[in-house]
């Protein structure tokens, strides 16, 4: 029996209904990353500090400085592969570009129904710089910190334990479901489920229904398994031990302070 | 469409986070109460959230030939109710920001307001009203999903127009600008999502009647039609029916 569908029947990576060739490569990279065993707080302070700097500092020259520093950390000490980073970054970059285009135009006024805005290119450029730098900051955190390291620690940060438990189950089942959906999609394509537009819609609806059935079925089976182990409503998971590094935090503080100072000095010089 | 990281000015990002907070806190309280009184519902809610996450990762064909993602908020609100969707939607948006680089953390409040609060409430409200006036289930489901999708994008347009008023005509001009850009793509997409939701619901009424009865989507009376006795069907049987 043929295990892999023939080439003609395999769905294209971008075809409707298929989440992608590799499911969640950012989280996979975070698990295998150089900073995997660092404390999540360290990486959160660095990543979100850079993101906040990009958002709060003047876009010019703040955003290019923050973006360059974030890129240097990502490709340098954090050891993220450039190709992987580009594949992850191009999506938010696309949103940034399409989001900046409307700022180029103005509606109404003496120039007509739609005309070029006087400061449109400047505003659009600043927005593009700011969103790109801020996106890199979040990617720095995402590429170095698996979500499974963050969730159990949220209880200590004050998030109610039931919410964290639900998020943990979502995270665990989410991967299985994405995998299932990709396989079902492949099976549908092998059975000409994408041969016509009508068939594609039927297949897509089937995918949604399968995801629902599978998620509830898995929850029921998980419930039975946990009940057999004395489940009392709390999901206990092992959290990898990691000590907070004062050196890392101090270096992060120094980097953020240097970025703020450089931005303000450069802005003064340039204006 | 998620508002990208860093797109909103800091004051706007903070204001939308504050606006979203009461709804999310209300949802968290409802969820905590539910889990404390019924511990096994943790798994069911987690499964529901995972389903929402996966649903939002599916690609639907759009009229232009390209693909887009369903918001999933209409179906989620009909199945799990808006307060729970506020929490599940927030977690989903957080996962999307960290795992898929969709949306962002500084814009999380704004995205939660449009996708996890307004969308589900508008979708559920439309669905509930239509059902109250005796509309068939699938008609109510279509308009519920349509309203959830469209209201999400209307709120996003308002958020963007507030953040970036038009140089000439201010907020109204910007709203017209962002609204017309979204209308071109989102009205067809809202129709697509409505149709997809109807197809999914049709399959679910055949394959998962037990779950739909438990969630209160189908009443006992509605659930009497053929297949009502399949509530205890095995996972394999349900999947076969769904396929």
- Parse chain B into domains and list their residue ranges: 10-202, 208-243
CA distance A61 to chain B (A): 15
Gyration radius of chain B's alpha carbons: 18
| Percentage of residues in chain A having pLDDT higher than 90 | 38
Q: What secondary structure letter does DSSP report for A5?
A: P
Least confident range from A214-223, B8-17, B56-65: namely B56-65
Secondary structure class of B243 (helix, strand, coil): coil
Asked if residue A13 has pLDDT above 50, the reply is no
pLDDT at residue A19, rounded to an integer: 45
CA distance B131 to chain A (A): 22
Name the token pair of A125.
């450029």
Contact present, B181 and A189 (Cβ < 8 Å):
no
CA distance B133 to chain A (A): 27
pLDDT at residue B183, rounded to an integer: 72
* B39 closest CB neighbour out of A18, A174, A232: A232
pLDDT at residue A75, rounded to an integer: 95
Q: Minimal Cα distance from B54: which residue of A?
A: A178
With CB atoms and an 8 Å threshold, state whether B99 touches A142. Answer: yes
pLDDT band at A11 (very low <50, low <70, confident <90, very high): very low
CA distance B181 to chain A (A): 9
The span from the CA of B140 to the CA of B130, in Å, is: 5
pLDDT average, residue stretch B192-206 = 84
pLDDT at residue A247, rounded to an integer: 95
What interface predicted TM-score (ipTM) does this complex get? Answer: 0.84
Burial class (CB in 10 A: 0-12, 13-18, 19+), A62: buried
The span from the CA of B160 to the CA of B177, in Å, is: 10
pLDDT band at A76 (very low <50, low <70, confident <90, very high): very high
The span from the CA of B225 to the CA of B206, in Å, is: 10
How are beta strands B67-68 and B60-61 bridged, if at all?
antiparallel
Gyration radius of chain A's alpha carbons: 23
Q: Show residues of chain A in contact with B35, CB under 8 Å.
A: 162, 165-166, 233
Q: Minimal Cα distance from A63: which residue of B?
A: B6
With both helix axes pointing from N to C terminus, report the angle between B82-99 and B73-80 in degrees, rounded to the nearest 10. 140
Burial class (CB in 10 A: 0-12, 13-18, 19+), A156: exposed
Q: Degrees (nearest 5) of the Cα angle A136, B111, B67?
A: 80
Q: Show residues of chain B in contact with A172, CB under 8 Å.
A: 46
pLDDT average, residue stretch A50-73 = 94
Secondary structure class of A197 (helix, strand, coil): helix
Phi first, then psi: what are they for A106, rounded to 5°?
-125, 155
The tens digit of pLDDT for each residue in B163-193 reads 998 888 888 888 888 888 777 777 888 888 8
Contact present, B18 and A175 (Cβ < 8 Å):
no
* Helical (H) or strand (E) element with A246: helix A246-270
**Matching CATH number, B10-202, of 3.40.50.2000, 3.40.50.180, 1.20.1090.10, 1.10.1760.20:** 1.10.1760.20
Q: Minimal Cα distance from A184: which residue of B?
A: B243
Asked if residue A22 has pLDDT above 60, the reply is no
| Of A175, A180, A181, A176, residue with least CA distance to A146 | A175
Contact present, B201 and A135 (Cβ < 8 Å):
no
> Where exactly are the structural domains of chain A?
15-107+114-145+241-271, 148-240
| Percentage of residues in chain B having pLDDT higher than 90 | 35
With CB atoms and an 8 Å threshold, state whether B199 touches A177. Answer: no
With CB atoms and an 8 Å threshold, state whether A134 touches B166. Answer: no
Interfacial A residues in 20-39 facing B (CB < 8 Å): 24, 26-27
Q: Show residues of chain B in contact with A213, CB under 8 Å.
A: 204, 207-208, 235, 238-239, 242
pTM score: 0.85
CA distance A234 to chain B (A): 8
Burial class (CB in 10 A: 0-12, 13-18, 19+), A37: exposed
């Amino acid at each position: 029996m043929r295990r892999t569908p023939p080439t003609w029947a395999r769905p294209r990576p971008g075809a409707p209904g298929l989440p992608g060739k590799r499911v969640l490569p950012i989280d996979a990279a975070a698990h295998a990353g150089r900073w995997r065993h660092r404390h999540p707080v360290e990486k959160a302070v660095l990543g979100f500090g850079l993101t906040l700097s990009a958002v709060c500092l003047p876009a010019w020259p703040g955003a290019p400085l923050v973006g360059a520093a974030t890129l240097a950390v990502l490709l340098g000490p954090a050891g993220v592969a450039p190709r992987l980073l580009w594949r992850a970054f191009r999506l938010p970059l696309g949103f940034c570009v399409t989001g900046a285009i409307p700022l180029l135009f103005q509606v109404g006024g003496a120039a007509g129904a739609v005309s070029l805005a006087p400061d449109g290119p400047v505003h659009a450029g600043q927005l593009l710089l700011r969103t790109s730098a801020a996106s890199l900051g979040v990617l720095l955190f995402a590429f170095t910190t698996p979500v499974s390291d963050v969730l159990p620690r949220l209880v200590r940060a004050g998030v109610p334990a039931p919410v964290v438990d639900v998020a943990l189950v979502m995270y665990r089942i989410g991967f299985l479901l994405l995998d299932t959906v990709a396989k079902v999609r492949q099976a549908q394509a092998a059975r000409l489920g994408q041969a016509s537009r009508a068939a594609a819609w039927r297949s897509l609806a089937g995918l949604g229904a399968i995801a629902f059935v599978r998620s509830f079925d898995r929850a029921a089976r998980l419930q039975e398994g946990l009940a057999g182990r004395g489940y009392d409503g709390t999901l206990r998971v092992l959290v990898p031990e990691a000590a907070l590094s004062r050196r890392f935090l101090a270096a992060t503080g120094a980097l953020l302070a240097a970025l703020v100072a450089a931005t303000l000095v450069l802005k003064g010089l340039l204006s | 469409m998620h508002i990208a990281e860093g797109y909103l000015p800091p004051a706007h990002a903070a204001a939308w986070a504050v606006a979203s907070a009461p709804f999310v806190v209300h949802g968290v309280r409802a969820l905590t109460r539910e889990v404390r009184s019924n511990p096994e519902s943790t798994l069911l809610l987690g499964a529901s959230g995972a389903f929402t996450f996966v649903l939002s990762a599916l690609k639907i064909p759009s009229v232009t030939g390209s693909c887009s993602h369903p918001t999933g908020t209409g179906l989620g609100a009909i199945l799990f109710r808006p307060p729970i969707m506020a929490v599940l939607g927030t977690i989903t948006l957080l996962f999307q920001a960290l795992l898929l680089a969709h949306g962002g953390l500084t814009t999380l409040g704004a995205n939660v307001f449009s996708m996890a609060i307004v969308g589900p409430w508008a979708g559920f409200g439309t669905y509930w009203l239509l059902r109250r006036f005796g509309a068939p289930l699938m008609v109510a489901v279509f308009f519920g999903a349509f309203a959830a999708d469209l209201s999400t994008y209307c709120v996003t347009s308002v958020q963007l127009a507030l953040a970036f008023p038009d140089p000439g005509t201010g907020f109204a001009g910007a709203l017209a600008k962002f609204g017309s850009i979204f209308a071109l793509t989102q009205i067809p997409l809202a129709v697509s999502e409505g149709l997809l939701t109807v197809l999914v619901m049709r399959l679910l009424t055949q394959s998962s009647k037990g779950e739909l009865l438990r969630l209160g989507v189908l009443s006992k009376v509605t659930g009497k039609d053929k297949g009502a006795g399949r509530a205890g069907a095995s996972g394999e049987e349900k999947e076969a029916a769904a396929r």
